[in-house]
Structure 1
Amino acid sequence: MSLRLNTRFRSRSLALLLPVAALVGLSAGPAQAAGTTATYTKASDWGSGFEGRWTVKNTGTTAISSWTVEWDFPSGTSVTSAWDADVTGSGNHWTAKNKSYNGSLAPGAGVSFGFNGAGSGAPANCRLNGASCDGGTTTPGDNPPSAPGTPTASALTSTSLTLHWTAATDDNGVKNYDVYRGSTKITTVTGTTANDSGLTAGTSYTYSVRARDTADQVGPASAALTVSTTGGGGGDPGPGGKVKLGYFTDWGIYQRNYQVKNLVTSGSAARITHINYAFGNVTGGKCAIGDAYADYQKTYDASSSVDGTADTWDQPVAGNINQLRELKKKYPGLKVIWSFGGWTWSGGFAQAAQNPAAFAQSCYDLVEDPRWADVFDGIDVDWEYPNACGLSCDTSGAAAFKNVMAALRAKFGSSNLVTAAVSADGSSGGKIDAADYAGAAQYADWFNVMTYDFFGAWDAQGPTAPHSPLTSYTGIPHDGFNTADAIAKYRAKGVPAAKLLIGIGLYGRGWTGVTQAAPGGTATGPAPGTYEQGIEDYKVLKNSCPATGTVAGTAYAKCGSNWWSYDTPATIAGKMSWAKAQGLGGAFFWEFSGDTSNGELVNAISSGIG
């Protein structure tokens, strides 16, 4: 897992559309002849900002050649970027006009455009081509119903559930409720409960409800509920349905003195579903042992062993691998994945990509070696970066990553996990654009999106910036360098949200020679760190340099002339709420040893993602 994102990217922003979570129909102004409608979607909301979408539909019998949608936002809410429409603002009033390629709509056709917004307000006074956005006539003084209460779920099984919500209100009475799974209406009911069946085990679903009054006016959507069905196979993370994964590094047993047993004493092992063991090497077109002594040769005495029994000098497998075996016996539901590559050893993937089948065979032979086949549940590929630059530049081509993942899946089969750590470069023309991640995703159980290390003291003079921003913010040094843009880009390319995991770094990045408390200040170089300049564990920073502010969903701190950014339990809670609203498959973190002795960040991740 890389602790650094390559620093040279294009700075042109590319905003990307996220899937719909709920629909809100807005109407205002004089009535128009039925025939065109505009409905609004808030796809996600992370507190300081949101992603919205308008859908224009021609419900009439004649074609239209252009469209213009207008609406008002309350003070403090604005559009920051948009796609598939030209959006302009004047004060609190916003106008969106069609692009040259999407203005004409035949009868029954529709088109959508989206935007990223700042603030938390909702649009009002919607007008489409100068008339009402509801496409029909409304009675003066007859208001649409309110939003129902947030749904809750009961009777949850692997294939079905029951939804409940509190009633909406309306001046003339509520007639019924439309229930949505994602953006699809699944049923209309007259009461405040509904059943949904035919679902897939171990899968996350998002639900919302809209009320309809006796005049057939539809009110705003309820807040969304995201819930996971039980069951599932392979890498099923359990009834909660979310992957909770941490990286354990083989070298952490040395200077850091972080052993597998620490996962038990900290409580972290009980809070996670998966461990990625890092790293195996990639060399000569093959998977190879990374550190034989740490992996299977080092012996542990009783006090440092997971099961309290000392290793013997002649046992065939000792080291971390045997300790992980003991850990799995203690926590039978825990799965361990062997991760190969990383920042230092990614150069070997170029040769591996020349013969993916041979590479996959070598990896299978190593991971499924009879000495430890019971320990590992699959393989993780940490290629930094396919057809792009990391420590070195790869020129394997856009299809290479997909081909490697396809070969691994073919060899490891459906009974093993096949995952990958992937770039979080959401910039236009950046790393995500360099390889066929959507094609590779069909062979992966999930992608660990490395949503950290966006900024750091490799830019020695600054500007200071948070290394793991959830969203963009005014003054961010590079467009697209944030979690929301990265996730949006993967989803727009066709990677399912359920196959994307948000990443958290259990450490901070910092500069020295800083005089400005807020982000954007100049610096003279990297701040001093325990093991490396410019980086420090959370367990140290929480006491030595407590957070003094937040920006873009993460924390920062200025202590003397040093400036640090890192995540805290509070900012992690916000990120996990955002990830759940997006329907992501879970969360992962780099890496265990950066946490406190009682695992407070791992606890925040586990409890927050649900």
Structure 2
Amino acid sequence: MLRQNHSPRRLRALLSAVCCAVLGAGLLAGASGASASVSAPPSGTERAAGSRVVGYFTEWGVYDRNYHVKNVETSGSADKLTHINYAFGNVTGGKCAMGDSYADTDKAYTADQAVDGVADTWDQPLRGNFNQLRKLKELHPGLKILWSFGGWTWSGGFGQAAQDPQGFAQSCYDLVEDSRWADVFDGIDIDWEYPGSCGLSCDTSDPAAYKNLMGALRDKFGGDLVTSAIAADATDGGKLDTADYAGAAQYVDWYNPMTYDYFGAWDAQGPTAPHSPLTSYDGIPIEGYSTDATIAKLKGMGVPADKLLLGIGFYGRGWTGVTQDAPGGTATGPAQGTYEQGIDDYKVLKDRCPATGTVAGTAYAHCGNEWWSYDTPETIAGKMDYKDQQGLGGTFLWELSGDTQNGELIDAVR
């Protein structure tokens, strides 16, 4: 969904500018830090939201991050998840393809690394993450797993796939339902960044292409889960306007609008701004870059609320060369991150640069000359209230390795 296949998605071209639908009085307040409660919905809609909790597990996390399927279990996250999106499969030549076969099916796990404490053998038919996910499902029979295709790096093939949606759907079905791991997966997730618009590359598909592709997947996968991560651009003529998301909604079980990465240090000089604001706030650099604007736009397009999940990032984005504590300060460039400049995990930032304030329903932190924004257990609790009041279908998380060892962020989600 966002994301480079080694980091969450970035990019200012994510969104173009203008116009926001604001909830009105009672939304989380401005840069001073205090937040007001979101106004209650009409009687009878409270707690009507779905309880899905979908966590992304990245195949590359088993390398430098040293985050394995076992960590989903030992952190307590598996008890709280309803679904896991395994990211990512590739899209190439108009077809679904394996992403990293070594991580997916070949990597041998020792007993201490394995979910169930049983080491892989050299001659077993399936190893790697797929086998560990199978073991996790055995411990949690209600847990569903979807194979997610595309992402920031591997979305370039969707344009060709959309030229033959039935052929694409058949290739995906054949791969997901391969007899070696068919029992692992309960469906497919599509992360096309972005139909009819630009991400890492630019797509020129017409607005019907996405709807046709999702319809073909639904026809092929039948009653299995079919979901999709989608843009969060609430502006007029922006990324949500370049594909028929409303028309395609009939084919998906739910959408994951990527309500994070609205702002970041790709704008190296700032102004500093929270990457995942729940609402607009006084001084927001671009009106419409907020979760509430995204949800309001999608609902206004006719997408049912219970088919929308609220996106939460388990990471922060930051700048260096900042002297101002409140949002809106100037900067000299991206702050140093563990794996990439301008981004780091919550589990690192909570101690390295603790939160110093809140704005628009999320937290920010000013430490030394660095400025970061990220969600905390407290701000996630506020976002969960919003999710319930809006009647949304649940929550999705990018991505599980950013949480603490004891899963304090996912605790706040549940």
Interval of TM-score (by shorter of Structure 1 and Structure 2): over 0.9
**RMSD of aligned alpha carbons:** 1.9
Could you tell me how far 1:225 is from its partner in structure 2?
Answer: 2.8
Match of 2:132 in 1: 323
Match of 1:292 in 2: 101
Aligned pairs, number = 404
Matching of residues 451-490 of structure 1 within 5 Å: 451-490=259-298
Q: TM-score, normalised by structure 2?
A: 0.94
**Higher strand share goes to which structure?**
1
SS of structure 1 residue aligned to 2:133 = helix
**1:347–1:394 Cα contact (<8 Å) kept:** yes
Matching of residues 512-591 of structure 1 within 5 Å: 512-591=320-399
CA 1:475–1:48: 2 relative to 1, 3 Å:
closer
The one-letter amino acid paired with 2:349 is L
Matching of residues 354-433 of structure 1 within 5 Å: 354-414=163-223, 416-433=224-241
Cα displacement string for residues 180-228 of structure 1 (whole angstroms, at most 9, x for unaligned residues) = xx87xxxxxxxxxxxxxxxxxxxxxxx44xxxxxxxxxxxxxxx53246
Match of 2:5 in 1: none
Could you tell me how far 1:120 is from its partner in structure 2?
Answer: 7.0
Distance in 2, Cα, partners of 1:348 & 1:410: 21
Check if 1:13 corresponds to 2:19.
Answer: yes
SS of structure 2 residue aligned to 1:403 = helix
**1:46–1:574 Cα contact (<8 Å) kept:** no
Match of 2:66 in 1: 257
Distance in 2, Cα, partners of 1:527 & 1:502: 27
How many percent identity over aligned positions? Answer: 68
Cα displacement string for residues 60-87 of structure 1 (whole angstroms, at most 9, x for unaligned residues) = xxxxxxxxxxxxxxxxxxxxxxxxxxxx
SS of structure 1 residue aligned to 2:157 = helix
Distance in 2, Cα, partners of 1:279 & 1:580: 29
SS of structure 2 residue aligned to 1:282 = strand
Matching of residues 155-170 of structure 1 within 5 Å: none
Bigger radius of gyration: 1
CA 1:388–1:46: 2 relative to 1, 3 Å:
same
Check if 1:225 corresponds to 2:46.
Answer: yes
Matching of residues 75-224 of structure 1 within 5 Å: 207-208=43-44
Distance in 2, Cα, partners of 1:289 & 1:10: 33
**1:4–1:454 Cα contact (<8 Å) kept:** no
**1:14–1:428 Cα contact (<8 Å) kept:** no
Distance in 2, Cα, partners of 1:409 & 1:512: 46
Distance in 1, Cα, partners of 2:104 & 2:268: 36
Structure 2: segments with no counterpart, 5+ residues = 3-7
Match of 2:79 in 1: 270
SS of structure 1 residue aligned to 2:118 = coil
The one-letter amino acid paired with 2:21 is A
**1:386–1:394 Cα contact (<8 Å) kept:** yes
Cα displacement string for residues 325-381 of structure 1 (whole angstroms, at most 9, x for unaligned residues) = 000000000000000000000001010000000000000000000000000000000
Alignment partner of 1:281 out of 45, 66, 90: 90
SS of structure 2 residue aligned to 1:270 = helix
SS of structure 2 residue aligned to 1:302 = coil
Structure 1: segments with no counterpart, 5+ residues = 19-41, 50-117, 123-149, 151-181, 184-206, 209-223, 229-240
SS of structure 2 residue aligned to 1:459 = coil
**Higher helix share goes to which structure?**
2
Match of 1:600 in 2: 408
CA 1:119–1:296: 2 relative to 1, 3 Å:
closer
SS of structure 1 residue aligned to 2:156 = helix
